[in-house]
A and B are shown apart, each in its own frame.
Chain A
Amino acid sequence: MMDKFRAFAEFETFYALYKPLTPYGRRAREERRWYADAAALKAEHDLAAALGAFAAAGRHKADKLRFHLRNIPAVELTAAALDGAPGLFLARKFLFNAAEIFKLLPAPLRAKFGARWNSDALLALLNKGGTGEAFHIADAYDPELAAGRAAIAACDKALKGLREKKLKALRERWGLDFSDRDFLVVEEKAAAKFNGAPELFVEPFDGGHVTVKPVYGPEYMECAAERDRLRGREAELESAAVKRLAAAVLEARKDIEAYAAAVERIDVAAERARLAAELKLTRPAIRKFPAPLALTKARFLPLEERLAAAGLKYTPLTATFGRRVSVIYGSNMGGKTVALKTLAFCQLLAQSGFFAPAAAFETCLFDGAAFMGGTEMETAGGLSSFGLEMNDFAAAHARLKGERLLLVMDEFARTTNSEEAVALLSAILEDLGDRPSACALLATHFSGLAAGKNAAAYKMRGFDTAAFNEYFSGRSACGLDEKLKMINKFMRYELLERAGDGEARDAIKIAGILGVAKGIVRRAQDFMEDKK
């Protein structure tokens, strides 16, 4: 149900801009939380507002916060995940960045996010493994490691010396240069002279060649064996150090989980604050249900962007839906659907924890939201578009018994005959008006609905004929772009309250602008006159 509502409101175009920086914030993003509890939502809005104020107070600190958030890795608190330098590297990186984030925030803000740092000793322990970003199982973790590694370095030096000595001897005696190569490929005939040479290992390569490798001799082999032994001991010591460090990290599991939860809250709030600043969003005012839904200069961001790209004017929506059932009438292309989308978009943002794109947005909370309509191209399970709409309505209607729902219906039942559609819509609106848990908005072409005493009627102001005639006299629009610009220029996307049944009378004019033959348009106007 929510998916259809989100799709109608084009919510994903906004959500794509919402990019938390930490794996914890990203996980929260994927949950697509819907806050129906006023206290929980207030807490989310409070946190976003607090981080917005923090960012506004100083750009340098805000940038540092983003830097450390971006560097927070996901830390897995299991013995298996911490059984090696990579797992410990991640634990240290997490703790280091979490500590820096907490330090950046003033104490009252830290308290709001539940960011209580308690791991100086653990971080100091892990910091013995490196400075800066890098981490390794350092000598500091075991006194024996330093001595063992010094012995390995001595072996490496001795092996290098023996190898160089051997290669020099091979070069001088056999003319074989193994510089940069572990082996050489030699013609079989030329290699015949190596037969029996103890310092060379020869084996076939192909029909005419052999590979030749140096044999470094017993002294080299003994040194290599000693190095292997030392390396084995080093691995044992490293493994023991890893176990001790992993145990220390696991001991702090509760603290680390609390840091991760705080980091998630900070990340999400910081991202919401960033979007609020960049998209000029304002904190919604949440009232107790039921309450009027009031939008002041509310912007449906996806359309605003599309119109800006096309060089067209966008008109924000100002409206107050004071009753629980509202019917919006209006002409084709007059903005009815956009009005519904604007409200749905603002409500979705607000109840998802974001601020809303409006100068002001007053609303109340719903347990869920449903969209019905606009499905003429869809079929599901053999249902026609009408069947699908009715199915959606029945499902939402059933939920009204226990939940407060926002129902948005766009051109609901438009695919059936107008007489029955009007009857059905009237009955539905009357029913919804009598259900205290419902808040419904319907946009329709149909006039003459009996919406009941609890419903309010609105009308999109529609086409400005006088301004159009003044501008259009003697001119003709060419191409769809220009025609759309013409409609955009003279359509008044304003919502008028209490407009009677609000019958729409712009369809013939719009048809004319879009290129329907003048003769047909004139004749249609004649028919309208006759009907009057």
Chain B
Amino acid sequence: MDPIKGLRNRTVFIVGSKKNAGKTTFLNYALNRLRGSAPLGALSVGVDGEAQDQVFGNPKPQVRAEKGDLLLCAESALKTADLHYEVLNVYPFTTAIGRPVLLRALRPGRAEISGPENNEQLAGILADMRRHGAGTVFVDGAVDRITQVAAGGKAAFVYVARVEPDNLDSSAAAIKLLWSASSVPLCRAGEKLPEPVFIVDGALTPGRLPGKEVKRGTLVIEDLTKIFLNWQQWQDLRGRFELRFAAKPDLAAFVVNLCNVTRQDFEKKLGVPALADRIIYNPYAVAR
């Protein structure tokens, strides 16, 4: 199945391996691919100060809206937006670049999207967008905002990575780890789990792992975005413990933008043939 079409009517978090991984470029691509039914929604979380899309060297892309699309923009950004819109809500919290404004495009145009500063605000805005008819809603950025929304059951995330020779090893390891983590089941209420059960709230770092003397048991991790281990540490952990996630958004796809790295070299580095099927390589590349 086309992984992009599988995002329809879901809340999709587009998270990047690092700044300028190509998230907003992918967002515009996905918006184009999903047009045709319910209005689409888009917002971002945080202001990252990126002036340019470093993957393709373009000025930082604004989001292209069609008539009916719902966008969240900072009040200050509206003055320079090429957009005719109606205001649906103005939120009572102020971000560094002004109050967030929920708007509906009244004709095609472009605007820079913005977002709230915490999970409670994000949940309220997402609910507002749905109330105003949004089908698929994209959230640009914000790997740490997934957990709360994942509880709603319709969340998915797309991981966008820019892979270059300098970060080939670390990028492959990060994707492998996410792939491996995505197979860890969700912790079910009343489930009988091997004792002792360790619950890790927040980031799972090497320092927070149970000591070496603990050979077995269950480790419950908040969600897969909270894993801050290298591949080897993760493998060790899987060997010692039964693992569960407290929340688990669906990992919909990996988008890998290869730059001076061939697909063969990257897949060799991954060493997981099954994973290759879940990767969308350079969505803008012309297939040979």
Contacts and interface: CB of A to CB of B under 8 A. Distances in A.
B78 A185 contact: no
B56 interface: yes
Interface stretch (B99-107, B117-125, B194-202): B99-107
A134 interface: yes
Contacts of A323: none
A96 B93 CA distance: 21
B208 interface: no
Contacts of A130: 86
A152 interface: yes
Contact of B285 (A153, A179, A182, A209): A209
B71 to A, nearest CB: 13
A187 B87 contact: no
A497 interface: no
Nearest to B76: A84
A84 B76 CA distance: 10
Given A133-B88, A234-B84, A84 B260 contact: no
A230 to B, nearest CB: 11
A208 B261 CA distance: 9
Nearest to A181: B284
Nearest to B82: A231
Contact of A208 (B87, B92, B260): B260
Contacts of B106: 136
Contacts of B92: 23, 73-74
A190 B56 contact: no
Interface in B250-281: 259-260
A208 B277 CA distance: 24
Interface string B123-142: 00000000000000000000
Contacts of B29: 180-181
B75 to A, nearest CB: 5
A136 B75 contact: no
B78 A134 contact: no
B28 A190 contact: no
A322 interface: no
Contacts of B58: 183
Contacts of B86: 85, 130, 134-136
A85 B282 contact: no
A181 B31 CA distance: 10
B288 interface: yes
A73 B124 CA distance: 15
A186 B79 contact: no
A219 B60 CA distance: 27
Contacts of A182: 28
Interface centre among B57, B88, B104, B284 (most CB of A within 10 A): B284
A282 to B, nearest CB: 35
A51 B286 CA distance: 69
B85 interface: yes
A152 B107 contact: yes
B90 interface: yes
A185 B284 contact: yes
A133 to B, nearest CB: 6
Interface string A203-222: 10111110100000000000
B286 A185 contact: yes
Contacts of B33: 180
B108 interface: yes
A29 interface: no
A149 interface: yes
B56 A180 contact: no
A184 B82 contact: no
A180 B285 contact: no
Given A135-B86, A186-B285, 20 more contacts: A73-B92, A84-B75, A84-B79, A85-B78, A85-B87, A86-B78, A134-B88, A135-B87, A179-B32, A180-B33, A183-B56, A184-B286, A185-B284, A185-B286, A186-B286, A187-B286, A203-B57, A205-B56, A211-B284, A231-B82
Contacts of B32: 179-181
10 contacts: A84-B79, A86-B90, A135-B86, A136-B86, A153-B107, A183-B56, A184-B286, A186-B286, A205-B259, A231-B82
Contacts of B90: 73, 86-87, 89-90
A190 to B, nearest CB: 7
Contacts of B284: 181, 183-185, 211
